[in-house]
Amino acid sequence: MPTVKTRLPQASRNKNSESRIDVKSVCPTDSGGDKHLAKRKTNSTMYVATYNARSLLSEERLTELEYELDHIKWDVVGLCEIRRRGEHLVNLKSGHSFYFVGDENSSFGGTSFLIHKRHRQNIVSLKKISNRVVYLVLRLSTRYEIKIIQVYAPTTDHPDEEVDIFYDDVDFALKDERTHFTILRGDFNAKMGTKSYPTETSLGGFGLGDRNERGETLLGFLLQNNLFQMNSFFQKRSARKWTWKSPDGRTKNEIDFIITDKRHIVKDLTVLNKLTTRSDHRLVRARIELNTGKERLKMIKKAGSRSWTKPADLEGFQRCITEQLQDYTQENSIDGLNENITNALLESQNRYCPKTQREEKLSKFTKRLMDKRRATRSEQLTTVDELRDINKQISKAIRK
285 and 146 in one domain?
A: yes
Task: Please choose, from the candidates 68, 120, 117, the residue with its C-alpha nearest in 3D space to the C-alpha of residue 285.
Answer: 68
Mean pLDDT of 362-366: 72
Q: Name the 3-class secondary structure at 91.
A: strand
288 and 321 in one domain?
A: no
376 and 330 in one domain?
A: no
Evaluate whether residue 338 is within a structural domain. Answer: yes
Q: 276, 298, 320 — which closes off a domain?
A: 298
Question: Per-residue pLDDT tens for 251-285?
Answer: 999 999 999 999 999 999 999 988 888 899 999 99
The pLDDT score that the predictor gives to residue 17 is: 37
118 and 253 in one domain?
A: yes
Question: Per-residue pLDDT tens for 230-239?
Answer: 999 999 998 9
189 and 277 in one domain?
A: yes
273 and 329 in one domain?
A: no
The pLDDT score that the predictor gives to residue 381 is: 55
390 and 330 in one domain?
A: no
Mean pLDDT of 57-66: 93
Mean pLDDT of 293-308: 61
Helix axes 384-399, 364-379, angle to 10 degrees: 160
Question: With pLDDT > 70 as the criterion, what percentage of the chain qualifies?
Answer: 78
375 and 240 in one domain?
A: no
- To 10 degrees, the CA torsion angle through 288, 289, 292, 296? -90
Residue 309 has pLDDT above 90, yes or no: no
250 and 335 in one domain?
A: no
Mean pLDDT of 6-12: 44
Residue 387 has pLDDT above 90, yes or no: no
Residue 192 has pLDDT above 90, yes or no: yes
For residue 291, the domain's CATH number is 3.60.10.10
CA–CA distances in Å: residue 259 to residues 99, 104, 221, 252, 269: 21, 29, 12, 21, 11
110 and 39 in one domain?
A: yes
Comparison of pLDDT for 366 and 54, the residue scoring more: 54
Provide the whole-model pTM: 0.67
107 and 20 in one domain?
A: yes
Comparison of pLDDT for 308 and 316, the residue scoring more: 316
Cα–Cα distance, 298 to 294 (Å, whole number):
6
Evaluate whether residue 186 is within a structural domain. Answer: yes
Q: Name the 3-class secondary structure at 341.
A: helix
Q: 261, 280, 298 — which closes off a domain?
A: 298
Evaluate whether residue 346 is within a structural domain. Answer: yes
Residue 65's domain comprises 4-298
Q: Name the 3-class secondary structure at 330.
A: coil
Evaluate whether residue 303 is within a structural domain. Answer: no
Evaluate whether residue 358 is within a structural domain. Answer: no
Evaluate whether residue 357 is within a structural domain. Answer: no
Residue 114 parent element (H or E)? strand 111-115
The pLDDT score that the predictor gives to residue 303 is: 53
Evaluate whether residue 140 is within a structural domain. Answer: yes
Number of domains in the chain: 3
160-166 contacts at long range (C-beta below 8 A, 24 or more positions apart): 163/214, 163/217, 165/130, 166/130, 166/132, 166/133
Evaluate whether residue 33 is within a structural domain. Answer: yes
Cα 300 to chain centroid distance, Å, stands at 18
- Amino acid found at 383: T
The pLDDT-based confidence of 94 (bands split at 50, 70, 90) is very high
What pairs with residue 229 in β-bridges?
259
63 and 27 in one domain?
A: yes
